[in-house]
Structure 1
Amino acid sequence: MAATRLDGRVERGNQTRRLVLDRAARIASVEGLEGLSLGRLAKELELSKSGVFTLFGSKEELQLATVEAARTIFTEHVVRPALEAPAGLVRIVRLCDRWLAYSEERVFPGGCFFFSVAAEFDARRGRVHDSIVQARTAWSAFVTRTLEEALDSGELAEDTDIPQLAFEVMALLEAANADSLLLDEEQPAGVGPYRRARRAILGRLAGAAADPSALPAAAD
């Protein structure tokens, strides 16, 4: 009986933690990680401040946990769907499409969570900065590895500069996210930042592909 009560308290604590971190990630994507406070989250979610403090202990711990929660959400929306596609050009395109959808559909209301918090902490030092760097490094490594798989399978030309191509693909994704947030205006069909980014990425991949016909059409 005691074990059952303990398990119930642990599960309620876990549910509360997930609830707090979901709200924290949404706030941070718009206002930054410095916009978070234990008191604010407790008030908005109608929780006790002492209970929220017990879960995290400090603002820095809350910020670190928020970055990790955002990584999990990003993986679910971008990385896992891409891994369902076969390795090679198909997976690269799926990865880019999922990233663009993640931003355009506002999984986080401020667009890409990591684009937002990286700008906030890029010139700072400390544990939160380091956690954002780790997330960025892991994402860059995944993009690079996905491109290397296409190279190894012969779908990209042998002389393809993979680090350069990864950099350009990531830059185009982030440019679409930034323009959509900053301009926030209606665009004629087919010429919005997300469609422009997709065309540019497909064009760049076509230029590096051993067989460009293996790529989907640019206009869709």
Structure 2
Amino acid sequence: MSALPSNPPKAAVAPRRVARSLQKGQQTRAAILEAALGLASHMGLEGLSIGALADMIKMSKSGVFAHFGSREELQIAVVREYHAKFEEEVFFPAIREVRGLPRLRGLYERWVRRVSVEIDSGCIYISGAVEFDDRPGPVRDALVTMVQAWHGALFKAIVLAKEVGHLQEAADVEQILFELHGLILSLHHDARFMRSPGALQRAGVGFERIVQFYATQSGLKADAAAKKPEPAAGNKRS
């Protein structure tokens, strides 16, 4: 039996090189996108440009342009990346909660937690709405689509809470969604712009009032059972 050739044939090497090249290109694009997301969080989508991004990551403009053919394409990619991270941190963990008020609470509390982290940077959904509210185009469309997807998830959670009997039959789903979103907008404004102490606590009180107003007795019991117990005073970290 003849020995195997020490070097693979050129026909086998070429696909490997292509695969490595593609992988490297994907990694470079991901790194650029991560930097772009950080820049947009602080400066807004309008403050995002290929030139500013290239300077930030010490890369040529042509190198960035090769991955994002235009500033608009870069902005849309950032919106989609932000939404993907939002889903990972807020939506996917919350839908593991029991249907009804426990799941709705999980969605809201994780939403608040993300906003609290973004106080020193910014929420692209909120800043983008200010920047593009009256500017039709693909970037605005991308923002609207992402926010609608999130509102759709909240809407479904509220509907499910009604269906399992945790919210009153007469509860207005659209109104509850409006009130929850209003709390988040107020939190972002007071915490980030006004630097108002206690904004996070007020957002929590607001949610509890919504629950008390719309919930049924069975909903309140399910919500109370699902709440995580607070650590004992002696166990809290200093």
Task: Call closer, same or farther: CA 1:208–1:86 in 2, change over 3 Å.
Answer: same
Deviation at 1:133, TM superposition (A): 0.8
Matched AA of 1:184: R
Of 173, 185, 209, the match for 1:162: 173
Quote the Cα distance in structure 2 between the aligned partners of 1:174 and 1:42: 32
Of 171, 177, 183, the match for 1:172: 183
Matches within 5 A, 1:70-89: 70-89=82-101
Aligned equivalent of 1:199: 205
Matches within 5 A, 1:1-12: 1-12=13-24
Q: Is the 8 A contact 2:120 2:192 kept in 1?
A: no
Matches within 5 A, 1:178-193: 178-184=189-195, 187=197, 192-193=198-199
Q: Which moved more, 1:162-171 or 1:21-30?
A: 21-30
Matched AA of 2:44: G
Structure 2 residue matching 1:160: 3-state secondary structure: coil
Of 27, 40, 47, the match for 1:28: 40
Structure 1 residue matching 2:102: 3-state secondary structure: helix
Of structures 1 and 2, the larger Rg is shown by: 2
Matched AA of 1:202: E
Map Cα deviations across residues 157-182 of structure 1 (whole Å, 9 max, x no partner): 10000111111011101211121101
Of 84, 103, 106, the match for 2:115: 103
Quote the Cα distance in structure 2 between the aligned partners of 1:26 and 1:175: 23
Quote the Cα distance in structure 2 between the aligned partners of 1:91 and 1:73: 19
Quote the Cα distance in structure 2 between the aligned partners of 1:60 and 1:29: 16
Matched AA of 1:195: Q
Quote the Cα distance in structure 1 between the aligned partners of 2:199 and 2:222: 24
Q: Which moved more, 1:159-168 or 1:46-55?
A: 46-55
Quote the Cα distance in structure 2 between the aligned partners of 1:103 and 1:115: 10
Structure 2 residue matching 1:156: 3-state secondary structure: coil
2:134 is equivalent to residue 123 of structure 1: yes
Quote the Cα distance in structure 2 between the aligned partners of 1:4 and 1:49: 28
Aligned equivalent of 2:7: none
Map Cα deviations across residues 122-180 of structure 1 (whole Å, 9 max, x no partner): 11111111111111111111111100010011111100001111110111012111211
Q: Which runs of 5+ in 2 are unaligned?
A: 1-12, 231-238
Q: Is the 8 A contact 1:28 1:117 kept in 2?
A: no
Deviation at 1:214, TM superposition (A): 3.3
Deviation at 1:29, TM superposition (A): 2.0
Q: CA RMSD in A?
A: 1.6
Quote the Cα distance in structure 1 between the aligned partners of 2:117 and 2:98: 24
Deviation at 1:109, TM superposition (A): 4.5
Identity %: 35
When the two structures are superposed, what TM-score results if normalisation uses the length of structure 2? 0.84
Matched AA of 1:134: T
Aligned residue pairs, count: 212
Quote the Cα distance in structure 1 between the aligned partners of 2:195 and 2:96: 32
Aligned equivalent of 2:223: 215
Structure 1 residue matching 2:179: 3-state secondary structure: helix
Aligned equivalent of 2:154: 143
Aligned equivalent of 1:62: 74
Structure 2 residue matching 1:155: 3-state secondary structure: coil
Q: Is the 8 A contact 1:77 1:98 kept in 2?
A: yes
Matched AA of 2:27: Q
